[in-house]
A = this chain, B = another copy of it.
Amino acid sequence: MAEYLGPTPIATVTRLSIYLRTLEEAQSENIEYISSMKIGQRNGFTSAQVRKDLSCFGNFGQKGKGYYIPSLIKQLRSILGLSQKWNIAIMGLGHLGQAFVGYKGFQKSGFNIVAIFDTDENKIGTKYNGIPVHHPDDLKRIAKNKDIQIAVITVPSSVAKASIQRVIDAKIKGILNFTDVRISLDNEFVMKNVNLVGELETIAFYITRPDWQCRGI
C-alpha cells in the first residue's frame, strides 16, 4: 500500500510533485523556459530521469528550448489531479492536527481543509482557524454534505484504527495517515502512510553507511 498504489509507481508520482514545486519556484523567479537538466539539478535527479518521468504523460519539451514553464505547470497540475479542488477533513485536533490546519501551503495547491473532527467536548462546536470542529460521529453526514475526498489521520495511535474505519464508512477515498497503525484497504481507497520513525531511520542509515552498495541480486 505505502510503496505501490497502482500501475504508476509512487516514486514517479512523488517526483512529479517535486517537479511541480520546482517549476512554481522557477516561475516566481520570472523564468519562462527550463531544461530537464535544470529541473534535475535543483532536486538532485539526472536530466534523463526528469525526461523519462515526464515522457510517461506526454511530449512537453521543445528541442533546444526546454519546457515552457506556464504550460508544463498546467499539464502537471492536470496529471496530478489538481485541476479540481479537494476537500479535506482533519481527524484529531492535537498538535499535529493543529500544525496541519495552520500550514499555509495547501490552499495554493487546491487542498481546502473544510472540517475538523475531535472527541474533545470542549473543542466540538467551536472553530479552529475558522474551520468548524465536529464530533467524529458526524463524519458520514458532513463528508457527504461537504464533499470531503481526503481525510488526514492525526489522532493518537490508540484510536487510529477506529478513526480510519469511520473514514472508510464515510466513503472518503483518500487517507493520509500520520499514525503508526497500518491497515490493508480495498483498491478503491488510496492510503498513504507518513512514517516519522522511518524518516529518522532512513537518515540514520545514510549517516551510518554513506557508501553501502547492495551486494545481493
Q: Which positions in A face B, CB cutoff 8 Å?
A: 1-8, 10-18, 20-22, 25, 42-45, 52, 54-57, 79-82, 84, 86, 88, 94-96, 98-100, 102-106, 109, 111, 149-150, 154, 157, 173-176, 180, 182, 184, 187, 190, 192, 194-217
Contacts and interface: CB of A to CB of B under 8 A. Distances in A.
Given A82-B204, A86-B204, A174-B207, 5 more contacts: A21-B197, A21-B198, A22-B182, A81-B205, A150-B207
Contact of A81 (B12, B95, B106, B204): B204
A36 to B, nearest CB: 13
A17 B106 CA distance: 28
Contact of A95 (B5, B96, B150): B96
A193 to B, nearest CB: 9
